[in-house]
Amino acid sequence: MSFQQGLSGLNASSRNLDVIGHNIANANTTGMKASRAEFSELYAGNIGTSGGVSSGIGVTVGAVSQQFNQGNISSTGNSLDVAINGSGFFVVTQPSGETAYTRAGNFKLDDDGNIVTNDGSKLQGNIIDPVTGAVTKGTLQVPTGKGVDGKATTKGSLELNLDTRAGIAADQTPPTPTTKYGTSLNVYDKQGNAIPVNLYFVKTAANAWNVYTTPDASDTPTALTFDTSGKIKTPTTLTLSGLKAPGATSDPVNVDFDISGLTQNGSAFAVSNVTQDGYAPGQLTGMSIAADGKLTTRYSNGQTQTVGQLTLANFRNVQGLEPSSGSYWKQTSASGDPIVSTPGAGNFGQLQSKALEESTVDLTAELVNMMTAQRAYQANAQTIKTQDQVMSTLVNLR
């Protein structure tokens, strides 16, 4: 009798419709991977039956497999949205303490600055100490509650050209003002207070200049000498001592400027580069995530700090992962242990910040699959109806 075959066909078609419906329902779910029902035919175990004689007894759903192909990446503009372009999964710790894996990178910040998913699962990665560079593993966090302290200036560099055609200042009528060739910059004390520094260059002889820090040349100058090719001979370091911000209570600072880049050529006075390693205190203004997962914070004083790095996990057999609510997968014995590395390393995908990976569901294809599954359901129901008619005919024989 074909009741068994028809009933198994109805069950399998119903399961297939469940899978298709689940795909359609998640067509807009970030990081979702479409599933498909895979069927297997059933045969009775008849010992000694020769090939081709045994008839099948129906169908069963052998597996519901997920298709781990790459989804389209759409830009969002949100700095905490991250898409994986390639293989790998984000690693999160759920509120229950269990480790889970996801492709959904629509992250948020909680009250403590932890990077979390919509259900509060915490994103895991490498925590980087911005001062020492030491790396530890744990929950990634953005220091939203504090800024960055100021740093005292200890060194800098100065690159400029002095015009060799300039006359000796004291020989000019009237004498060349001290302030004619000058530049300025800020250095910082230990409290992050800005200390204005002015440098004035006065020509004293052929290939010789003095550097003053006051416009009236009342301080003790530093003498500079240049060789005949226009390169500085002595000194190559300009030391400024006892610098202090007006009204500040912090200790004075001493700054060594590398001036080996000074030249004296037949062109106009021009400053090409001035740098120093101090900065004022700053507040957090934003953050960014690089393709390799580096988490960088930006501050109002222009400084940046790398405070962490996202890591990815991959598995020997991704089909062995157990899907879970919330767009998560769980490790199983079939999937094997996770392999954890940084984005872009080996066969791991890279990250794209301010973007999300879309669902891999092809809505048009799923609608066609749904119509096909519906026809299969109707066909199996028809076999049961036909068998019922046959049975009715047999019963009514006289």
* Cα distance between residue 308 and residue 87, in whole Å: 21
Residue ranges in the chain whose pLDDT is less than 50: none
Q: What is the pLDDT of residues 95-104, one digit of tens each?
A: 999 999 999 9
Structure tokens at 18: 């469940």
Q: How far is CA 50 from CA 1, 46, 54, in A?
A: 21, 9, 8
In the block, which residue shows the tokens 């169908």? 59
Distances (CA, A) of 300 to 218, 280, 286, 364: 36, 9, 9, 48
Computed over every residue of the chain, the mean pLDDT equals 92
Q: Which residues 6+ apart lie within 8 Å of 162 measured at CB?
A: 181, 201, 203, 209, 226, 262, 263, 264, 269
The residue with tokens 């599954």 is 373
Looking at the chain, how many residues does it have?
398
Q: How much is the pLDDT for 30? A: 94
Note whether 311 and 348 are within 8 A (CB): no
What does the pLDDT read at residue 43? 80
The 3-class secondary structure across the chain, one letter per residue, is CCHHHHHHHHHHHHHHHHHHHHHHHCCCCCCCCCEEEEEEEEECCCCCCCCCCCCEEEEEEEEEEECCCCCCEEECCCCCEEEEECECEEEEECCCCCEEEECCCECEECCCCEEECCCCCEEEEEEECCCCCCEEEEECECCCCCCECCECCCEEEEEEEEECCCCCHHHCCCCCCCCCCEEEEEEECCCCCEEEEEEEEEEEECCEEEEECCCCCCCCCEEEEECCCCEEEECCEEEEEEECCCCCCCCCEEEEEECCCCEEECCCCEEEEEEECCECCECEEEEEECCCCEEEEEECCCCEEEEEEECEEECCCHHHCEEECCCEEECCCCCCCCEEECCCCCCECEEEECEEECCCCCHHHHHHHHHHHHHHHHHHHHHHHHHHHHHHHHHCCC
Both tokens assigned to 311: 């890591």
Evaluate the CA torsion angle 385, 390, 394, 397 in order and state its sign. positive
Domain ranges of the chain: 3-69+359-395, 77-143+296-357, 155-276
**Which residues share a beta bridge with 285?**
none
Angle of the 3-25 helix axis to the 363-395 helix axis, nearest 10: 160
Contact predicate 169/217, CB 8 Å: no
pLDDT tens, residue by residue, 40-49: 888 876 655 5
CA distances from 250 to 146, 150, 198, 284 (A): 22, 12, 20, 24
Contact in structure between 260 and 234 (CB atoms under 8 Å): no
Specify the pLDDT at position 104: 96
Whole-angstrom distance, CA of residue 26 vs CA of residue 361: 8
| Other Cβ atoms within 10 Å of 98 Cβ, number | 13
pLDDT given for residue 49 in this prediction: 57
**Domain 155-276 - what CATH class?**
mainly beta
Phi and psi at 357, nearest 5°, equal: -85, 125
Q: What confidence score (pLDDT) does residue 282 get?
A: 92
Cβ pair 383, 2 in contact under 8 A: yes
